[in-house]
Structure formats: structure tokens, C-alpha cells
Amino acid sequence: MILTKYEEGALRGEHGDILQMAYRILVATGEATDADRLIPIHWVHLSGVNYNTIGDAGEQFLRSIRHKARVQVRTTLNPAGFDKDTVHEYAITDEFIKKQESIKTSYKMMGVETSFSCIPYDIFDIPTAGTQVSFAESNAAIHANSLDKLKTNKESSFSALASALTGKSPYNEFRGDISPDVTVDVDMPNLTELDWGMLGLFAGRVSEKCVSISGAVPSDRRTCKALCGGMGTSGTCAKFTTDTAPDTEHISFGRQEAKKIHDELNTAETGDTIILGSPQLSLPEIESLIEMLRGRRFTKRCMLFCPRTVKESAAPHIETLERANVHLLADCCACLTPLLSTDDTDGVITNSIKGAYYLQKSNGLDVSLKSLQDIIREYSR
């Protein structure tokens, strides 16, 4: 990699141990991804927030640097482990709460906006097309590259933090005009958001970098997020396009491929809790849910995950949602949540491929996968 004199000096420790650590991470990441230099970035979105994810080692590391480390560009944050408004309603230990609050304090001291959201594209203004950013949340990175016309690597928690502390990131192929390496031909009519999530998981498994999707176009917010969430769960693929991609291998995705993924992740006929919001839901999606329910009430508890700003904006709908047995949870997400465990939950019902994957792998829960329309039809009255 070609480095500036300042960057070389930072690597030698001439600008302090925090920047030395950050530049070491960036250079190592750059060399591993064939980057030729570091470039300025204008927005960082961090992962590594939930205590369930980073544990004691992560909490101690953040606490050890928070008095000296300061972010150099706008930096926002992925979900944490719980909603402070309702944490007392769940079996969350005092130790977990203490450690999660320590993580929050560390990020705030470094100048990070504690947005606690995995959908920065829904709650913040998007920069102009072509802007270089560094997003560590997988669905947000894919959304940024594919729909927002931004440029980002699929960052790790460490590389994104290093970018926040330096305002720079390695320039590799994902930051240029990357072309599709595979075309997925969709052979299914009338895709639901669940179908789009399964398509995303499939596409992420067959493409290493960028995939062209032919035969279907995600038409609304719900389907776009399902596609990005599924892709982000499955591999290294960082972008999709619906443009024609000549000279690429064509792979079919139809009912047979969808059934195979459904059978893989669907481990139960039903569950005792409905999970919505992985990725988190926006206000329009919450309002759409209310319209779809048409005054009916879920027969099972429904946990709906959203950003704090969305929960506040949804205040006029809270009574309606509570009557429908929908419980809004801000600042956290279904993925890696301590709010659900086998101690008090036999299984969950969800329309999210991303949620299903992590609730099984990390929480050990059985999952019943259904589209939102089917969930409402089967579990409301």
C-alpha cells in the first residue's frame, strides 16, 4: 500500500498509541483486500455494540481507549442489547445492564452518535451518490452500495472503528465500480418479503462480490430490506444490481431453491412469540402493519424492533399497537438479543431470514418462517 508521510508516521506511533492502533488495523485490512491506498470517508456506522456480541473483552477494550480516542467523522451505531424503557420486563441480569451501559458510555465519550439502529438508511439523510462511507452492519452496507449509490466495504467492527478514529478506509475493489460476478434468474411470481429474504440468502451464497438479479425487482421498503438482510447473512457479497450483466454465469432461483432454504431455517410449525424487525422497522412499515391488521389483535405476543427515533415518532400509534398485542422495542434488535432465550421461549414466528438465522444459531430457538401476510392471517383475530 502507498501511504502518506502522516500515515507512515502514525504507524510508527508518532501521533499517539490510539492512531497507531487504528492505522495498523487499516493497513492490515488493506493488505488483506488488495487495497492500494487509504482514502477519506465521510460516515462510519459501527457494529460491536451489543454486549452479547463483544462480551467482556470488547467492553474492556472500549473502556481502555475511551478517554483518549475520538472519532474524526460522523459515526453512528448498531443496536444494543435492550430497550431501557422495558428492560425491567425481561430477565436481564444487572451485570449485563452494567456492561451494556459501559459500552454506551465509551462510544459517547468517543463522539459516536448512539443511534442504536441497523437501518441508518431509514433514519438519516443519505449523502450524495458516490460518497465513500464505512458501514460494518451487513444489511446497511449492501443497502448503501446497491440502493443508496454510496461506496463501502463490508467492514468488520474493528476496521469500521479504525475508520472512525482516522477518517480513512482502504481503497479496494468494493469502493470502485464493481461488476456482477453472477446473475441470479428469478423464476417465481409475486414474491413476498419472505421470498425476497430467501433470494438474498441464496444470492449471497452464490456470489462473492456483486450479484445481478434478473426477473424481479424489489418494489418497496419491506422487500428491499429483506433482500439486503438475507444477503448480509450469507457471505461476502456486498452489492446487488437489477441491471443486465453480460458474460456472467446464470443461476436459477425458483420454488425448489426457495423451499430448500425454507426447510433449512424453518424448524417449527409454530412458536409462542412473533418477531418483527430484523432489520429494524421504519415508521412507514409500522403504519403499514397497523393497516394490515385492520383492528385485529395478535393471538401471540409480538415483539417489534425499531430505532429510538422511530419509536418516538410512532407515539400516536402506541395504544393501537398495544391493543394489537404489539410491543415496540427500541435500541435493540432480534439478532443476538438477550431478550429471548430457551428458558422462557419455545420458539418464534418471524418473516425475517436474518432473524431466523441468528435466533437459531445464537439463541438456540426453533423458528417458524412465514410471510407477514400469513402471520397476520394465522395469528390475529
Q: Are 276 and 207 in contact, with CB atoms under 8 Å apart?
A: no
Q: Are residues 247 and 328 in the same domain?
A: no
Alpha carbons 23 and 29: distance in angstroms, whole number: 10
In a 3-state reduction of DSSP, which class is residue 207?
Answer: coil
- Set of cell numbers at residue 365: 430457538
Residue 366 in contact with residue 377, Cβ under 8 Å? no
| Structural domain ending residue among the three candidates 154, 175, 196 | 175
The reply to whether 17 and 123 lie within a common domain is: yes
The confidence band for 222, taking pLDDT boundaries of 50, 70 and 90, is very high
Instruction: Give pLDDT, residue 77.
Output: 98
Grid coordinates 454510496 are at which residue?
Answer: 150
108-165 residue pLDDT tens: 999 999 999 999 999 999 999 999 999 999 999 999 999 999 999 999 999 999 999 9
Out of 136, 160, 175, pick the residue that ends a domain.
Answer: 175
Instruction: Provide the pLDDT for residue 346.
Output: 87
CA distance 92 to 237: 35
- Per the DSSP assignment, residues forming a β-bridge with 35 are none
Beta-bridge mates of residue 275: 303, 350
Give the pLDDT of residue 281. Answer: 98
Helices 353-361 and 255-265 pack at an angle, to 10 degrees, of 30
Rounded Cα gap, residues 45 and 262, in angstroms: 31
Contact 331, 325 (CB under 8 A): no
Mean pLDDT of 72-83: 98
The total number of structural domains in the chain stands at 3
Please report, rounded to a whole number, the percentage of residues in the chain having pLDDT higher than 70: 100
C-alpha cell at 203: 444470492
Assess whether pLDDT exceeds 90 at residue 344: no
Question: Are 221 and 299 part of one and the same domain?
Answer: no
Please give the C-alpha separations between residue 379 and each of 22, 191, 216, 290, 375, in angstroms, as whole numbers. Answer: 49, 21, 29, 14, 6
User: Where does the pLDDT of residue 51 fall: very low under 50, low under 70, confident under 90, or very high at 90 and above?
Assistant: very high
User: Band of the pLDDT at 335, cuts 50, 70, 90?
Assistant: confident
Angle at 346 between CA 341 and CA 352, to 5 degrees: 75
Half-sphere exposure of 258 (CA within 13 A, CB side): 20
Question: pLDDT-derived band of residue 96, with 50, 70 and 90 as boundaries?
Answer: very high
- Average pLDDT of span 328-355: 93
E strand or H helix at 45: strand 43-46
pLDDT > 90 fraction of the chain, expressed in percent and rounded: 94
Q: Which residue has the higher pLDDT, 210 or 219?
A: 210
Coil, helix or strand at residue 368? strand
Are residue 167 and residue 201 in the same domain, yes or no? no
Is 117 in the same domain as 88? yes
> Does the pLDDT at position 355 exceed 90?
yes
For the segment 158-192, what is each residue's pLDDT rounded down to a tens digit?
999 999 999 999 999 889 989 999 999 999 999 99
CATH code of residue 120: 3.30.499
Query: Residue 221's pLDDT is what?
Result: 95
Output the pLDDT for position 213.
97
Please report the pLDDT score of residue 144 as a whole number: 98
Q: Residue 347's domain spans which residues?
A: 266-379
Regarding predicted confidence, which is higher, 337 or 17? 17
Q: Residue 20 above 90 pLDDT?
A: yes
Q: Examine the domain organization and report whether 226 and 307 are in the same domain.
A: no
192-226 burial: b if 16+ Cβ within 10 Å, else e: bbbbbbbbbbbbbbbbebbbbbbbbebeebbbbbb
Mark which of 198, 230, 263 sits at the end of a domain: 263
What value does the mean pLDDT of the chain take? 96
Q: How far is CA 177 from CA 30, 115, 122, 328, in A?
A: 18, 30, 24, 39
Determine whether 313 is exposed, middle or buried from the number of CB atoms within 10 Å of its CB (0-12, 13-18, 19+).
middle
Q: What is the mean pLDDT of residues 51-80?
A: 97
Q: How far apart are the first and last CA of the chain?
A: 62
pLDDT at 231 over 90: yes
Shared domain for 227 and 124, answered yes or no, is: no
- Mark whether 121 and 43 lie in a shared domain: yes
* Residue 281's CATH number: 3.30.499.10
At 98, the pLDDT band (50, 70, 90 cuts) reads: very high
- Phi and psi at 137, nearest 5°, equal -75, 125
Q: Which residues contact 27 (CB under 8 A, 6 or more apart)?
A: 1, 3, 11, 38, 170
What's the pLDDT score for residue 211?
97
Identify the pLDDT of residue 194.
98
Examine the domain organization and report whether 33 and 45 are in the same domain: yes
The tens digit of pLDDT for each residue in 277-325 reads 999 999 999 999 999 999 999 999 999 999 999 999 999 999 999 999 9
Residue 133 has which C-alpha cell? 462511507
